[in-house]
Amino acid sequence: MSVPLTLLGLLEREPSHGYDLKRDYDTFFGRGKPLSFGQVYSTLGRLARDGKVVIGEVAPGEGPERKRYLITERGATEVGTWLAEPVDPEPTLQSILFSKVVLSLMLGRPAEEYLDRQRAAHLSRMRELTELKRTGELVDALLADHALFHLEADLRWIDLTSARLGTLAKAVQR
């Protein structure tokens, strides 16, 4: 997730205070990983330095002044370019899961046990996500579906790799 570009996109929608940007980010994009206020304001500072946002009206607040941020033409152009570019398809041909299996085999450790534990962890996470789909809002359900599809693919890979462990062990121990 690109925090700066996402904040710019929220600002293109409407000028906002840092507090409002954090709330909107956390509501739609920060599921399980909300932004800290420090990250919001440091990002806004860099965006202002780079000419992508400017500070509009400044109002007194109970604490620091409340600054309203506005996107510049440069910022809007960057958001437009980012939104138009496709994301690199994932996953890459290297993954932590794959690396752990191969290293386990190379080191004579129980790769099958690792895959069993990983399968159990995936299934547990899938149950959590399924419950989120059942009880959450539409945004939660869509994010849960995305994660579930990836976890299902991982489970298929785990099963296939488990079935091929003997052959893989011979290949990596040469």
Shared-domain flag, residues 68 and 102: no
* Domain assignment present for 89: no
C-alpha pair distances (Å), 138 with each of 31, 132, 135, 145:
13, 10, 10, 10
Q: Are residues 14 and 73 in the same domain?
A: yes
Tell me, rounded to whole angstroms, the distance of Cα 161 from its chain centroid.
26
- For residue 174, what pLDDT band results from cuts at 50, 70 and 90? confident
Q: Which two tokens stand for residue 107?
A: 């080191």
Query: Of 36, 51, 84, which residue sits at a domain end?
Result: 84
What is the per-residue pLDDT across 71-107, written as a single tens digit (0 to 9) for each? Answer: 999 999 999 999 888 776 666 656 778 888 888 888 8
Q: Is residue 138 part of a domain?
A: yes
Reading the block at residue 74, the tokens are 């440069």
91 in a structural domain: no
Q: How far is CA 171 from CA 102, 120, 168, in A?
A: 10, 27, 5
Domain boundary (58, 84, 110) is at 84
Is the domain of 161 the same as that of 105? yes
pLDDT, tens digit, 9 for 90 and up, residues 36-70:
999 999 999 999 999 999 998 887 767 677 889 99
The pair of three-digit structure tokens given for residue 97, joined into one six-digit string: 């899961």
- Distance in angstroms (rounded) separating the CA atoms of residues 129 and 145: 8
Which residues of 64-168 form beta strands (DSSP E)?
A: 66-71
**Residue that terminates a domain, selected from 84, 116, 149:** 84
Domain limits at 129?
A: 96-172
